[in-house]
Amino acid sequence: MNDQLDYLASRVTARKMSRREFMGRAAALGISASLASSLFASAARAAGPVKGGTLKMGSVGGESTNSLDPALALSQVSYHVLYAFGEKLVNVAPDGTLEMRVAESVEANDDGSVWTFRIRDGIEFHDGKPLTAEDVMKTMERHSNEESQSGALGIMRGIQSMAVDGKNFVVNLTEPNADLPYLMNDYHLMIQPNGGMDDPATRIGCGPYKVEVDEPGVRHTFSKFENYWDDTRGHADSLEILVLNDATARMAALQSGQVHVVNRVEPKIADLLRRAPNINVYNVGGPGHYVFIMHCDTPPFDNNDLRMALKYAINREEMVDKILRGYGTVGNDMPINAAYPLFDDTIPQRSYDPEKAAEHYKKSGHDGSPIILRTADGAFPGAVDAAALFQQSAQAAGIPLEIKREPNDGYWSEVWNVKPFCASYWGGRPVQDQMYSTAYLSTADWNDTRFKNAEFDALLLQARAELDEPKRKALYSKMGMMVRDEGGLICPMFNDFVEATTSNVQGWEPNPDGDTMAGRWSSKLWLE
């Protein structure tokens, strides 16, 4: 039988046998459909990418308020649009190493306070202009500007000065930082002509595809950029991203063949979808987490006893079991888990304790009025059900939690980072410095819990400059405890990224750095 399978695989590798024919022959040999599908995928990968066709994605996280300005990207559709037409200095590979993109190399001085990115020759913007180190510096300057409202503003505040030296982009830091190249992986930092200073929402990037249609909240289409510098990426002739915020509609579009790729497969249907014909389901664990966030500077959440009451009033194990269905792990009210190399696993795990919750609630002096928690289907998969579980477990502690269900459209602009208590999610970041700088530094634009602590800020700067790993780990551990015990984050669970494709999609490479191959599905996948 092995000889026959080897023969069939060789026919696929030589592109002389279709998937349908291979599956039929394998079935005749008594091979299970799942094993045959895996064997075919391996043979197809060995054959190399097939060029052409239109690759289509159905994505949650699209709104009518979305912009092409990379600084303003908030949710998944904007994230995927940016990766289709943009390019950064570096990416983080699936194994956690740095992958050079616009930068062909990066070097630091001895203490990590000065970093030099050498900019690659031969990169062209979609308008035909060559990309230069000056474009890189202008991009970084714009995201450093307080008026840009950039999601990357927090990580840019550690930069003292920037300069161009020939083909080099040179960064001088206020404090040494061994993780600086990883910060440049932030998806907002797509390189634009003149940094986007002229028109931040222009369609011009240097990625594998050009924007053709931009209908926020509806669809986005792209055509292949013929002068793209990397011929190992961008295999399709065109792309289409359809905004499908409703999970049922998204899965129906996948199963009917209307789209080839979908994100945010709900855990409650993932196993069922795995059994569907001609569908592949993928999952990968990482730093992504589903959360409820409180504004620490807004009553009644400016009272830490009330925040602690709510933290003790949530049943994490129940949520992982009933919401994630095993596609994730328990959280601990801090944004860091074992996906981070300097994670401290000795920090005690907080558990559901209605007695402690009731004790803190009484101590807070809250007047007993309803505490409004806002949520939406698009906040994270199962967010509405998770909020209902939270309400039930809080009730057992005598805490009057009231759920307000918000529409998906406008949630990320009108509710998240605006209202004082809501459901949200974070995709996580490759290193702790980036996660904390983006969302917990007092001055970060995306500090969505309004956690402002001078000691925490000082520790963050100290950790950046500390090159001794054990000492750095100890600093991060202290910071994690501060967020856990004083912050506005309720983190019940770390989620797997669960996504699916039709079986004629090849090149899938799970990446824990983010949703759907960390945004690289558009440049790395192809249609068989």
**Phi and psi at residue 517, to the nearest 5°:** 65, 35
The whole-angstrom separation of Cα 51 and Cα 49 is 6
Question: 10 Å Cβ neighbour count for 324?
Answer: 25
Closest CA to 509 of 493, 489, 528, 523: 523
The whole-angstrom separation of Cα 233 and Cα 525 is 8
List beta partners, residue 447: none
Q: What is the pLDDT along the chain (528 residues), one digit of tens a residue?
A: 566 656 555 665 655 556 666 666 666 666 666 666 666 666 666 667 999 999 999 999 999 999 999 999 989 999 999 999 999 999 999 999 999 999 999 999 999 999 999 999 999 999 999 999 999 999 999 999 988 889 999 899 889 999 999 999 999 999 899 899 999 999 999 999 999 999 999 999 999 999 999 999 999 999 999 999 999 999 999 999 999 999 999 999 999 999 999 999 999 999 999 999 999 999 999 999 999 999 999 999 999 999 999 999 999 999 999 999 999 999 999 999 999 989 999 999 999 999 999 999 999 999 999 999 999 999 999 999 999 999 999 999 999 999 999 999 999 999 999 999 999 999 999 999 999 999 999 999 899 999 999 999 999 999 998 888 999 999 999 999 999 999 999 999 999 999 999 999 999 999 999 999 999 999 999 999
Secondary structure tally for the chain: helices H, strands E: 18, 21
CA-based max dimension of the chain: 75
Cα dist from 124 to 25, 31, 51, 69, 114, whole Å: 46, 48, 21, 19, 27
Cβ burial of 363 (10 Å; 0-12, 13-18, 19+) is middle
pLDDT for position 158: 86
Closest CA to 394 of 364, 415, 424, 373: 373
The whole-angstrom separation of Cα 427 and Cα 494 is 9
Closest CA to 221 of 92, 11, 57: 57
Q: How far is CA 501 from the centre of its chain?
A: 18
Closest CA to 185 of 446, 513, 523: 513
Helix H, strand E, coil C: the string for 186-209 is CCCCCCCHHHHCCCCCCCCCCCCE
Q: Which pair of structure tokens corresponds to residue 468?
A: 């001794």
Asked if 156 contacts 141 with a C-beta cutoff of 8 angstroms, the reply is: no
Asked if 226 contacts 212 with a C-beta cutoff of 8 angstroms, the reply is: no
**Phi and psi at residue 356, to the nearest 5°:** -65, -40
Tell me which residue has tokens 């790395």.
524
List beta partners, residue 223: 210, 238
Q: Which pair of structure tokens corresponds to residue 342?
A: 């300097």
Collapsing DSSP states into helix, strand and coil, what is residue 235?
A: coil
Cα dist from 320 to 7, 156, 398, 400, 496, whole Å: 44, 35, 23, 23, 11
What residue type is 490 in one-letter code?
I
Tell me which residue has tokens 């601990």.
332
Strands (E), 379-525: 401-405, 421-426, 489-495, 497-502, 505-506
